[in-house]
Amino acid sequence: MATVTTAAEKRQLNPLDLYDIRSELSEEECMVQDSVARMVDDKVLPVIQEAFENHQFPRELIDEVAALGLLGSSIEGYDCAGLGSVCYGLICQELERGDSGLRSFVSVQSSLVMYPIYSYGSEEQKQRWLPAMARGEAIGCFGLTESQGGSDPSNMKTHAKRDGDDWILNGSKMWITNGNLADAAVVWATTEEGVRGFIVEKDMPGFTTQEIENKFSLRASVTSALFFDNVRVPNASVLPGVVGLKGPLSCLTQARYGITWGVIGAAQACLDEVLNYTRDRVLFHKPLAHNQAIQLRLADMARRITTAQLLSLHLGRMKDEGRMTPAQVSLAKWNNCRAALDIARDARDMLGGSGISAEYVPIRHMLNLESVITYEGTETIHQLIIGKELTGINAF
């Protein structure tokens, strides 16, 4: 018969891991989580508030994430770590406990740039880019979104035409993470054959980037517009292994999976902060945490974090077994981003006036999560993907 823990055996649960998800992890997964957590505590948390306030990506962290093997961590060979999907998830979780901007940097490099080169690139492209990208010596960005509507990439205007052994690329991309940092952009463009992926290098004539200033969200991340004015791209820089929108959409599935984990880290950081704050803050002669109304809100945060953890862990195990589907990823991306954003907003409120100060983490996470719930498919897009799965009817 199954046993239930008695009051005598009762032990203190980890408030950030009420279901002891940690005990479900392998030794390797625990090691990866711990080493990223240490790096975040030692190198990210001391600098991230200032980086966010200064609207600057902390470039010095590129070497730190590369040294730990966090770039392209799921790729086998090419100097990459070849880790499982849960490891990748835990990496995202710990990085985003620091800041969504840093997790974004790693998501884009790993899932949106190295993944398509690995999955659809020629051997020459893989040899040229993957080891350099794993070491952080070459940085990539992913250009899919255009100004006329990111939710509907099938309405893409950027196009490429064959010209002898080359292609001539024209058009523009909007809201591109790492754009101004990147040595190479994986750019998706329409051609007579369908959508193709082009590796556009930063010094190719006609390719320019412009950083998007004055963001109130993801301030510690570089976001750019990309412009292509008759850029001549050799055929050797076209990804040979995929034609059609499923190319970029398959990359999104990888990145969205990581985001389901990442936002858990942001939510945990907010709950941690608000637990400490409500224990110390005395109002009406007692600590704030003594109030039922406060405890209800804290309990709700723990419920949402636990649900998110279970979804992501199960998704990760299914991914490694090769049976994860895009609609399942959409459910977790929707659920976990919504949970994290609501937690961050509520934590901000429970800190009162202090909640608007950069000294406390919730407002930074809250502002970041407004982007995270929007990029990689807005909440509505993910709801409609699930609607299509349930009904068989495409509402787009």
Comparison of 256 and 348: residue with beta carbon closer to ligand TGC: 256
> What 8-state DSSP symbol labels residue 58?
-
**Is 245 one of the binding residues for ligand TGC (CB under 6 A)?**
yes
**Is 396 one of the binding residues for ligand FAD (CB under 6 A)?**
yes
Only one of the segments 259-267, 304-312, 337-345, 373-381 lies at the binding site for ligand FAD (rule: CB under 6 A); that segment is 373-381
Binding residues among 94-133 for ligand FAD as defined by CB under 6 A? 108
**Is 145 one of the binding residues for ligand FAD (CB under 6 A)?**
yes
Instruction: By CB under 6 A, name the one of 78, 129, 277, 375 that touches ligand TGC.
Output: 375
**Measured CA angle at 297 (ends 292, 300), to 5 deg:** 125
Q: Which whole-number Å values give the CA distances from 176 to 139, 209, 256, 322, in the listed order?
A: 13, 10, 16, 29
- Specify whether 201 is catalytic: no
Instruction: By CB under 6 A, name the one of 232, 243, 378, 389 that touches ligand FAD.
Output: 378
Compute how many other C-beta atoms are within 10 angstroms of the C-beta atom of residue 20.
9
Catalytic residue among 24, 359, 376, 379, which?
Answer: 376
Residue with tokens 């990029």: 375
H-run or E-run covering 104: helix 100-107
Compute how many other C-beta atoms are within 10 angstroms of the C-beta atom of residue 19.
16
Instruction: By CB under 6 A, name the one of 144, 184, 264, 266 that touches ligand TGC.
Output: 144
Question: Which of ligand TGC, ligand FAD, none does residue 335 bind to, with CB < 5 to 8 Å depending on kind?
Answer: none
SS3 142: strand
> What 8-state DSSP symbol labels residue 153?
G
CA separation for the pair 297, 282 (Å, rounded): 17
> What 8-state DSSP symbol labels residue 137?
S
Binding residues among 215-274 for ligand FAD as defined by CB under 6 A? 218, 223
CA separation for the pair 300, 342 (Å, rounded): 10
Which residues does the annotation mark as catalytic?
A: 376
Residues in the site for ligand FAD, rule: CB under 6 A? Answer: 108, 142-145, 149-151, 175-177, 218, 223, 371, 374-376, 378, 380-381, 396
Residues in the site for ligand TGC, rule: CB under 6 A? Answer: 104, 107-108, 142, 144-145, 150-151, 153-154, 177, 244-246, 249-250, 252-253, 255, 326, 375-377, 381, 385, 396
